A and B are shown apart, each in its own frame.
Chain A
Amino acid sequence: MLGKGVVGGGGGTKAPKPSFVSYVRPEEIHTNEKEVTEKEVTLHLLPGEQLLCEASTVLKYVQEDSCQHGVYGRLVCTDFKIAFLGDDESALDNDETQFKNKVIGENDITLHCVDQIYGVFDEKKKTLFGQLKKYPEKLIIHCKDLRVFHFCLRYTKEEEVKRIVSGIIHHTQAPKLLKRLFLFSYATATQNNTAADPKNHTVMFDTLKDWCWELERTKGNMKYKAVSVNEGYKVCERLPAYFVVPTPLAEEDVQRFQGHGIPIWCWSCHNGSALLKMSALPKEQDDGILQIQKSFLDGIYKTIHRPPYEIVKTEDLSGNFLSLQEIQTAYSKFKQLFLIDNSTEFWDTDIKWFSLLESSSWLDIIRRCLKKAIEITECMEAQNMNILLLEENASDLCCLISSLVQVMMDPHCRTRIGFQSLVQKEWVMGGHCFLDRCNHLRQSDKEEVPVFQLFLDCVWQLVHQHPPAFEFTETYLTVLSDSLYIPIFSTFFFNSPHQKDTNVHQRQLSLPLTQSKSSPKRGFFREETDHLIKNLLGKRISKLINSSDELQDNFREFYDSWHSKPTDYHGLLLPHIEGPEIRVWAQRYLRWIPEAQILGGGTVATMSKLLEMMEEVQSLQEKIDERHHSQEDPQAEPPCLLRNSARLSSLFPFALLQRHSSKPILPTSGWKALGDEEDLAKREDEFVDLGDV
């Protein structure tokens, strides 16, 4: 970055690593003589929120420069968040405060948002967990929204250090009971206000009516019916109380294997083909039971293979597609790129940015998901097939792929309400285990897989490539991803609708802590499909399953031909999936890194110009209307949102403006010439001599 360090005679001049230990600590130099201010900032508590512990004279580092500045203040921990109350809450200008998060302040970290906590002992960084013997002089908190906080505890009283550090570790790292989630105390405290916002038309899919409405909207009601067989979760706790199945399907079939092996309707396309999902039957060793399962499935497939149903193609998502393990590994590598402790580290990694990005495979995973969704879209749209998604519990990749397909095919899902309804339908009612996947209760790190985050990232790629096709912007998606860790909204804090209903309605009954999920062994599903489907379903299906090459070609043609036609934003929407087109969601991942922002530039500049022009059109139109109805009062000026866009950051509304000291300086240029280029590097620049002409 510009403006760091001093002008040096040599080439690269990044912020130098400390080569000797100074007796004067940098923070002692830069903190304005420990100017502890009188104006205490008051802690803002939500209804039902309780203060647990606190420490004063904590120094929070501000990483603006290579030299570290700090702000003194109070570090507190409540049953909802960790908050730092600095003395330096300088007033921000209007544009910025206008877009502030109303629940979470700049220095607030909800307990669920904490990812890792490190302590610094004698310049060494260690992960903190459990009981501590020694307390660190510095606390580093990595958040799930990728913020990094550094708190220096050197000037804090020892007692307070002990209390705050062990408090924070306990409340963020130790396993928790579901009933201890803050949302319950919040709900109790705000009971009067819990009436649903009447303006909010998000369909919740918790009534039979909602499903019927969705069937009607997608014209799926000819061949599919909403059933209430699981009312009161009599059949199965994994499924929602109401869902949709093929009309001829008998209700006893649903009960037979507690909802397993049942094709459940997700969505119908305008041409009648439908997207279905199915969770696998439990794995059995016993031949007799296997035989029963076989004949059961046979019956099911017979039902959906007959007209009026289209040809079914089965997509096995737990077999040869993506594994949750892969997603987990990729994301944990990927996020390290953004969890930067200081700017030296940033510049060190910046040189290798593209290869680091690549080695995380996160972008490739996004590409594979988008590709899979396009393949399915092609089958439904062009070949008029039904697609049956298969997965162990039908609650991870099923949710992801089916909702991605709907975003691409159904313009309704690209409105804000439509998108929210989709999340409600496929993820919340689809039984995605948010509690486990986000590890909200800190019960098992293994189960923590950012499937929903992956979905949002896929949608972001679409939003980024086709902004006019969406009612919402990337900021909406970013805020949505943040709300995953704010335990005020119950949406993302349960494993299933059953769990939510039992906890929200009968809170007084303390539930036995459900470690619930019996997780069968991996790989089971692949074997089963290979075995069962090929044998049971005859040629019709196996032909389709084995013809992946042929499909590849169909896919290409479909993809190319869509992209060669003008886009109809009200219709089918496909993303570009060539390598260069899959991008990093900067607003989500890079927003806290000041080095990465462009002042007065980026897409924000485009957007604000666009807004300006829309206002202009609007006001001109109003002027014309005025002419026609001169008796009406002239309209007031429309409010303008981003007037002084010139100085907005490219990561607006998240990154705060950072002023850099601005001596000219070259940024890091630490790379070496590539080996085979050395010859070239040594060669003289050529010069066309005039004599030659």
Chain B
Amino acid sequence: RIHVEQVKLLDRFSTSNKSLTGTLYLTATHLLFIDSHQKETWILHHHIASVEKLALTTSGCPLVIQCKNFRIVHFIVPRERDCHDIYNSLLQLSKQAKYEDLYAFSYNPKQNDSERLQGWQVIDLAEEYKRMGVPNSHWQLSDANREYKICETYPRELYVPQIASKPIIVGSSKFRSKGRFPVLSYYHQDKEAAICRCSQPLSGFSARCLEDEHLLQAISKANPVNRYMYVMDTRPKLNAMANRAAGKGYENEDNYSNIRFQFVGIENIHVMRSSLQKLLEVSGTKGLSVNDFYSGLESSGWLRHIKAVMDAAIFLAKAIMVENASVLVHCSDGWDRTSQVCSLGSLLLDSYYRTIKGFMLVLSGGVRCGHLDGDPKEVSPVFTQFLECVWHLTEQFPQAFEFNEEFLLQIHEHIHSCQFGNFLGNCQKEREELKLKEKTYSLWPFLLEDQKKYINPLYSFKSQRFTVLEPNTVSFNFKFWRNMYHQFDRTLHPRQSVFNIIMNMNEQNKQLQKDIQDLESKIKQRKNKQTDGVLTKELLHSVCPESPTLKTSLRFKEQTLLPVNDALRTIEGSSPADNRYSEYAEEFSKPEPAVVSLEYGVARMTC
């Protein structure tokens, strides 16, 4: 509706203040900038984390927009009046007061109701429990929370030990913060060991609860192999102790028979947020030198936090794999850190979660996002952090995941876009109240539709279901995730990765296989007609002219395959799940030489 001409878009990292001139448009859902080359930059209002008006300069009024997907744009609007208007409108638009105003409730990808419903059924959590092997003789489905009577923030369907009666569950829930009593999170069929989750006990300095003690005992008894279990408090010990003064705290090992208690030391969400902020400051510095970067990276502490989450997940996986012990995980309320650690732990344990569909299940199991957290600047770093942990795993084990980095980035994009209903609401009850399944669309079918570009070409299917990943957490192995934090800074982007080359080769392989099949069937057909040997030879001869075309299809240079190119369609409409790369279209559509040809004898890939 508003549009302003002659706006300059500055290059964030350019030391010479390079800029593009164009027109800025403001729509109901997006901010759009079209430069003189007709390149479009779309910014969803929901993505905007902060808008800042800087002091007036000679060339105009600078406006800096920081987005939750780590895009930072720096506009210079010639007239202050216009700048002020845009600024105010953006403030209004990016601060949605009600759920009903979120983009997801107005977004319409032109599907009918049954298609939408089918979309929501792609991921079925109930089915997932069956896959894990519950219910069974040790674990049962409890109806205690069917009406959200025990715990509002838990789902209706919960799995608990077979021998845990309802009074025990109710008793335990009264002893746990927010009523979040211990429930099953992941069941390891092979080891018959479980990952359970809950919130902190209301133990204060001395309180105890027999029902809670019984429930923990029931969990360890549900494991026929190992009678002791670990209780993992993911908080630093100091924090947990401080909580005791408020009547909360942690389990006293003396009161619970056969538990082993362990602190993990993952910092809370406030620390994480400030750490991420520091990381962004460091990585946003112009002309970053090696030295400033490394010291900045270290003092932000971000990678250290990632390492702490990873260490906790490794601990979890090893407890199950090596000691065959069940583990109960909690933090304060059993939201963020607990979800991160349980999800990451199951990702290490079960290769199914490393597939595209499996990973969707992990995410549907729920890390909370909190879209209405009040201060829009406060982006919740929990999900970003979880995705980064997964990314580090994909970096350390390039063969272990069915999906690629692009998939993680796309998911991150939509966690904040509020375009789909998946990440809205904090718990099942809230989601039902919002009628998300009736009023919004699910992201997953859209991602599955585009699956081809999210496939990791290195993925090796051979691995067994229970192949455990053992990541290494030496500092050296943690890296800055450039493609996340600098994803919109084109000058810093790698132009081509080995992955594209591999995708290319895969494609060629398939082509060759198809060629072989074609040839074979041709031969068969002809053979059936005439069994004469001489004619067969002639036939072979007649096939030969095809070979030049085959050869050219082998000439890697000419082929341009590309996950990247595919990724480049425009905005909504054609590919609703993807609105990040629109502005790259132009550059990427140039064919890139995929693999070097072998002339010159140069640059052959060797190992």
Contacts of A567 in B (CB 8 A): 495-496, 592-593
Nearest CB in chain B: distance from A152 CB, A = 27
Comparing A282-290, A401-409, A607-615, the segment that makes contact with chain B is: A607-615
- Among A350, A352, A610, the residue within 8 A (CB) of B605 is A610
For the complex, is B446 an interface residue (Cβ under 8 Å from A)?
Answer: no
- Among B319, B333, B508, the residue within 8 A (CB) of A685 is B333
For the complex, is B506 an interface residue (Cβ under 8 Å from A)?
Answer: yes
In contact, A666 and B476 (Cβ under 8 angstroms): no
Contacts of A366 in B (CB 8 A): 290
- Among A367, A662, A666, A692, the residue within 8 A (CB) of B322 is A662
In contact, A685 and B331 (Cβ under 8 angstroms): yes
- Among B264, B270, B335, B479, the residue within 8 A (CB) of A683 is B270
Nearest CB to that of A683 among chain B residues? B270
For the complex, is A508 an interface residue (Cβ under 8 Å from B)?
Answer: no
Contacts of A3 in B (CB 8 A): 318
Contacts of A412 in B (CB 8 A): 600, 602
B491-529 toward A: CB 8 Å interface, digit per residue (1/0)? 111111010011001101100110110010000000000
For the complex, is A7 an interface residue (Cβ under 8 Å from B)?
Answer: yes
Given contacts A569-B593, A580-B293, A605-B397, contact A687 B268 (CB under 8 A): no
Comparing B83-91, B109-117, B184-192, B295-303, the segment that makes contact with chain A is: B295-303
From residue 580 to 620 of chain A, which have CB atoms closer than 8 A to chain B? 580, 582, 584, 586, 590, 595-603, 605-611, 613-614, 616-617, 620
A556–B18 alpha-carbon span in the complex (Å): 11
Comparing B55-63, B138-146, B155-163, B467-475, the segment that makes contact with chain A is: B467-475
Nearest CB to that of B178 among chain A residues? A687
Contacts of A475 in B (CB 8 A): 607
Nearest CB in chain A: distance from B428 CB, A = 12
In contact, A671 and B304 (Cβ under 8 angstroms): yes
Contacts of B260 in A (CB 8 A): 7
In contact, A355 and B554 (Cβ under 8 angstroms): no
A95-117 toward B: CB 8 Å interface, digit per residue (1/0)? 00000000000000000000000
Contacts of A125 in B (CB 8 A): none
Given contacts A556-B14, A681-B268, contact A614 B311 (CB under 8 A): no
A123–B8 alpha-carbon span in the complex (Å): 67
Comparing A435-443, A519-527, A623-631, the segment that makes contact with chain B is: A623-631
For the complex, is B289 an interface residue (Cβ under 8 Å from A)?
Answer: yes
Nearest CB in chain A: distance from B597 CB, A = 8
In contact, A468 and B498 (Cβ under 8 angstroms): yes
In contact, B502 and A687 (Cβ under 8 angstroms): no
A370–B267 alpha-carbon span in the complex (Å): 39
For the complex, is B149 an interface residue (Cβ under 8 Å from A)?
Answer: no
In contact, B603 and A570 (Cβ under 8 angstroms): yes
A565–B586 alpha-carbon span in the complex (Å): 11
A606–B260 alpha-carbon span in the complex (Å): 39
Nearest CB in chain B: distance from A650 CB, A = 8
For the complex, is B550 an interface residue (Cβ under 8 Å from A)?
Answer: yes
- Among B152, B261, B606, the residue within 8 A (CB) of A690 is B152
In contact, A596 and B476 (Cβ under 8 angstroms): yes
What is the total number of residues of chain B having a CB less than 8 Å from a CB of chain A? 129
In contact, A666 and B290 (Cβ under 8 angstroms): no
Contacts of A663 in B (CB 8 A): 318, 322-323
Comparing B25-33, B36-44, B233-241, the segment that makes contact with chain A is: B233-241
Comparing B201-209, B409-417, B539-547, the segment that makes contact with chain A is: B539-547
B299-318 toward A: CB 8 Å interface, digit per residue (1/0)? 10101100010011011111
For the complex, is A159 an interface residue (Cβ under 8 Å from B)?
Answer: no
For the complex, is A530 an interface residue (Cβ under 8 Å from B)?
Answer: no
Nearest CB in chain B: distance from A174 CB, A = 36
A614–B605 alpha-carbon span in the complex (Å): 10
For the complex, is B269 an interface residue (Cβ under 8 Å from A)?
Answer: yes
- Among B270, B493, B512, the residue within 8 A (CB) of A617 is B512
Nearest CB in chain B: distance from A372 CB, A = 14
In contact, A602 and B396 (Cβ under 8 angstroms): yes
- Among B152, B491, B502, the residue within 8 A (CB) of A564 is B491
A10–B240 alpha-carbon span in the complex (Å): 12
For the complex, is A93 an interface residue (Cβ under 8 Å from B)?
Answer: no
For the complex, is A122 an interface residue (Cβ under 8 Å from B)?
Answer: no
Given contacts A468-B603, A624-B550, contact A664 B294 (CB under 8 A): no
- Among A11, A414, A578, A607, the residue within 8 A (CB) of B607 is A607
What is the total number of residues of chain A having a CB less than 8 Å from a CB of chain B? 110
Nearest CB in chain A: distance from B494 CB, A = 8
A59–B308 alpha-carbon span in the complex (Å): 37
Nearest CB to that of B153 among chain A residues? A690
A117–B484 alpha-carbon span in the complex (Å): 46
A210–B592 alpha-carbon span in the complex (Å): 36
A3–B273 alpha-carbon span in the complex (Å): 31
A612–B7 alpha-carbon span in the complex (Å): 52
Given contacts A1-B474, A578-B492, A685-B336, contact A630 B540 (CB under 8 A): yes
For the complex, is B604 an interface residue (Cβ under 8 Å from A)?
Answer: yes
Comparing A40-48, A185-193, A672-680, the segment that makes contact with chain B is: A672-680
For the complex, is A344 an interface residue (Cβ under 8 Å from B)?
Answer: no
Contacts of A511 in B (CB 8 A): none
Contacts of A334 in B (CB 8 A): none
Contacts of B567 in A (CB 8 A): none
For the complex, is B242 an interface residue (Cβ under 8 Å from A)?
Answer: yes
For the complex, is A364 an interface residue (Cβ under 8 Å from B)?
Answer: yes
Nearest CB in chain B: distance from A384 CB, A = 22
In contact, B332 and A685 (Cβ under 8 angstroms): yes
- Among A598, A599, A662, the residue within 8 A (CB) of B318 is A662
Contacts of B593 in A (CB 8 A): 566-569
- Among A556, A590, A617, the residue within 8 A (CB) of B15 is A556
For the complex, is B99 an interface residue (Cβ under 8 Å from A)?
Answer: yes
A239–B596 alpha-carbon span in the complex (Å): 38
Contacts of A596 in B (CB 8 A): 472, 474, 476-477
For the complex, is B366 an interface residue (Cβ under 8 Å from A)?
Answer: no
For the complex, is B291 an interface residue (Cβ under 8 Å from A)?
Answer: yes
Nearest CB to that of A417 among chain B residues? B601
For the complex, is A563 an interface residue (Cβ under 8 Å from B)?
Answer: yes
In contact, B482 and A580 (Cβ under 8 angstroms): yes
Nearest CB in chain B: distance from A7 CB, A = 7
Nearest CB to that of A580 among chain B residues? B480
Given contacts A2-B470, A667-B311, A685-B269, contact A414 B274 (CB under 8 A): no
Nearest CB in chain A: distance from B71 CB, A = 18
- Among B267, B509, B600, the residue within 8 A (CB) of A570 is B600
In contact, A415 and B601 (Cβ under 8 angstroms): yes
In contact, A673 and B318 (Cβ under 8 angstroms): no
In contact, B319 and A664 (Cβ under 8 angstroms): yes
For the complex, is B1 an interface residue (Cβ under 8 Å from A)?
Answer: no
A590–B476 alpha-carbon span in the complex (Å): 9
For the complex, is B129 an interface residue (Cβ under 8 Å from A)?
Answer: no
Nearest CB in chain A: distance from B523 CB, A = 8
In contact, A367 and B590 (Cβ under 8 angstroms): no
Contacts of B540 in A (CB 8 A): 627-628, 630
In contact, B501 and A468 (Cβ under 8 angstroms): yes
For the complex, is A528 an interface residue (Cβ under 8 Å from B)?
Answer: no
Contacts of B426 in A (CB 8 A): 688, 690
**Other CB < 8 Å A-B pairs besides A473-B606, A600-B399, 10 of them?**
A411-B600, A469-B596, A556-B15, A569-B602, A576-B492, A610-B605, A617-B509, A650-B396, A664-B317, A693-B430
- Return 17 A-B CB contacts under 8 Å, by A number: A11-B236, A567-B496, A576-B492, A578-B288, A584-B476, A606-B398, A606-B399, A617-B512, A624-B512, A624-B550, A680-B267, A680-B274, A684-B268, A685-B269, A687-B333, A688-B370, A688-B372
Residues in B lying within 8 Å of A, measured CB to CB: 14-16, 99, 152-153, 178, 230, 236-239, 242-243, 246, 253, 260-265, 267-271, 273-275, 283, 288-295, 297-299, 301, 303-304, 308, 311-312, 314-319, 321-323, 331-333, 335-336, 368, 370, 372-373, 396-400, 426-427, 429-430, 458, 460, 463, 470-477, 479-480, 482, 490-496, 498, 501-502, 505-506, 508-509, 512-513, 515-516, 519, 540, 543-544, 547, 550, 554, 587, 590-593, 595-596, 600-607
4 smallest CB-CB distances across A and B, nearest first, come from A579-B293, A664-B318, A353-B475, A354-B298
